[in-house]
Amino acid sequence: MTIRLAIIIMSALGMMSDTVLIGFYPQFFDMRYGNTDQVHTGMYVAAISIAVMCTLPIWVRVAKRFEPMSLIGFTQCVAGLLCLSAIWAETLTQYWVLTMLMFMFKSSYLLMFPYLMRIVNSDEHSRTIALLSVVVHISGILAAASGGYILQHLGASAALVLMAAGDFGQMAITLWLNRSGKIIKVNSRQQISAQDIKDTAAIVADDATAPAPVATRRGFSHLTKGILTLSLIMFVFDFSAYLIRPFFSEYWIYATAHKDQTLAGLIFAIPGLAAVVALIVKHRLSATATQRNENLSWNLLLSLVGLYLQSIPSDIAIVIGRCMYGWGLFQIAVKLEVSLFSISRKEDYAHHFSITNFFQNLGVLISSWCAGYIVSLISHQAVFLIAAAGIALTWLANKLTLNLDHIKTAGVPQGADTDRSSEIELESRRV
């Protein structure tokens, strides 16, 4: 097992551990503590986002002194222990304290993404991010489905055990990577020769800590401005993309004659299935066709039309809209992440990732709050129309600032061993 495959598995475990209860906290709090207050549930979910937003930058600073993968193994072990201890929390206050500490330690697993971007060639960034996006999305869907089953048949404590199992699974993989010597150290100042890297076939000796070409030309102040501008674009996009999520299943039942909750869940999952299809298509396209397929303006337009179609109370319109929305959402998310690592420098990947992640979480957090007010004060359809307006604003902000379709990713350094990129591509196809 290569380190790249190990990180993909760890990403799936981390997402499943995080989201196993995300759609069932009202039932969970009712079962364990008899609390049915929806406001309390909303505050708890918001607190999780805030905990991640505030602690990830801290882990980024710590990771400059300790190797990221070794640090993740330790923090996930602590998170797993805190999760298990929450089983015996007798009051809501105790549960809040233990689980907020748990999510603070859990957030460190996000360091895997910038770490992976450092050890793969820059021309593999797009495919790697696309693969991770699909894996994480599918893991979230599977976790939500299993979470409902576990709560119904095994109880609330079993759900916490499953969450802890994901953390301990990540810890076990990092221990195995350490013992097998497969971890690539990114904090070492010593150059790593190509012969020392047997299983990633991705990192280049002189490129391990060298700044990306775009960053070298523009300088630090321009780089910081670019990252902050990209963060604002991500904020507007994530706010718009996630605005429709909290009440979609309810809207489907309200807008159509279908009252089946299972069918509503399947319709909700259409964007995830569209992402899988998009990934398969992505691997079959030529370089020129891939560039056209990833055009940000086109995919924003596709998502906008998809959102508008979903506002029409018709089975067919909603399904078609979900497909268009899901395809565009996947392509845009990949494009924005690839742009981050194109603008940034390798030694700043983790720091800049924490900045953009903060703004993304902020967008999701605010959208969750706003969605409830929009539905209660206006209507379900208004959520889709406002989200579409937000997508249009994302397009305008991009055109007036970075114009990401004109940012080129860094190519493979001359003299790099071309065989080393082939292993990653082969493994991507196997996955």
What is the predicted pLDDT for the residue at 200?
A: 39
Q: Which of 144-153, 227-236, 399-408 has the highest mean pLDDT?
A: 227-236
What is the predicted pLDDT for the residue at 38?
A: 64
* Domains of the chain, each with CATH number or no CATH: 1-210 (1.20.1250.20), 212-407 (1.20.1250.20)
Say if residue 420's pLDDT is above 50: no
How is the chain split among helix, strand and coil, in percent rounded to 5? 80, 0, 20
Side-chain-side CA neighbours of 41 within 13 Å: the count stands at 19
The mean pLDDT value for 246-265 works out to 76
Say if residue 203's pLDDT is above 50: no
What is the predicted pLDDT for the residue at 87?
A: 93
The percentage of residues in the chain with a pLDDT greater than 70, rounded to a whole number, is: 84
- Band (pLDDT 50/70/90 cuts) for residue 261 is low
Say if residue 409's pLDDT is above 60: no
Residue 244, burial from CB neighbour count under 10 angstroms (0-12, 13-18, 19+): buried
What is the predicted pLDDT for the residue at 100?
A: 95
What is the predicted pLDDT for the residue at 156?
A: 86
Mean pLDDT of the chain: 80
pTM for the full predicted model: 0.72
Q: List pLDDT tens digits, range 19-46.
A: 788 767 777 888 898 887 766 777 787 7
What is the predicted pLDDT for the residue at 408?
A: 63
Say if residue 383's pLDDT is above 80: yes
Tell me, letter by letter, the H, E, C secondary structure of 44-93: HHHHHHHHHHHHHHHHHHHCCCCCHHHHHHHHHHHHHHHHHHHHHCCCHH
Whether 359 contacts 235, CB under 8 Å: yes
Say if residue 272's pLDDT is above 60: yes
Whether 174 contacts 72, CB under 8 Å: yes
Lowest model confidence (mean pLDDT) among 55-59, 228-232, 258-262: 258-262
Q: Which of 120-129, 139-148, 360-369 has the highest mean pLDDT?
A: 360-369
What is the predicted pLDDT for the residue at 196?
A: 39
- Band (pLDDT 50/70/90 cuts) for residue 393 is very high
Q: In this structure, which long-range contacts are made by residues 368-374, counting pairs with CB atoms below 8 Å and at least 24 apart in sequence?
A: 368/42, 368/45, 368/46, 368/242, 368/246, 369/42, 369/46, 370/239, 370/243, 371/243, 371/244, 371/245, 371/246, 371/247, 372/42, 372/246, 372/247, 374/243
The percentage of residues in the chain with a pLDDT greater than 90, rounded to a whole number, is: 31
Say if residue 369's pLDDT is above 70: yes
Integer CA distances (angstroms), 423 to 92, 199, 278, 412, in order:
49, 8, 22, 15
Say if residue 144's pLDDT is above 50: yes
- Band (pLDDT 50/70/90 cuts) for residue 391 is very high
Q: Which of 234, 218, 252 is nearest to 336 (CA)?
A: 234
Q: In this structure, which long-range contacts are made by residues 171-180, counting pairs with CB atoms below 8 Å and at least 24 apart in sequence?
A: 171/73, 171/74, 171/76, 171/77, 171/80, 173/6, 173/9, 173/10, 173/13, 174/10, 174/69, 174/70, 174/72, 174/73, 174/76, 175/73, 176/6, 177/3, 177/6, 177/69, 178/69, 178/70, 178/73
- Band (pLDDT 50/70/90 cuts) for residue 238 is very high
Tell which wins on pLDDT, 305 or 364.
Answer: 305
Tell which wins on pLDDT, 6 or 409.
Answer: 6
Tell which wins on pLDDT, 87 or 155.
Answer: 87
Q: Which of 5, 9, 3, 40 is nearest to 25 (CA)?
A: 40
What is the predicted pLDDT for the residue at 221?
A: 64
Say if residue 190's pLDDT is above 70: no
Please give the Cα distance from 194 to 191 (Å, whole number): 10
Whether 71 contacts 59, CB under 8 Å: yes
Q: List pLDDT tens digits, range 41-63.
A: 777 877 888 888 889 899 989 98
- Band (pLDDT 50/70/90 cuts) for residue 351 is confident
Say if residue 216's pLDDT is above 50: no
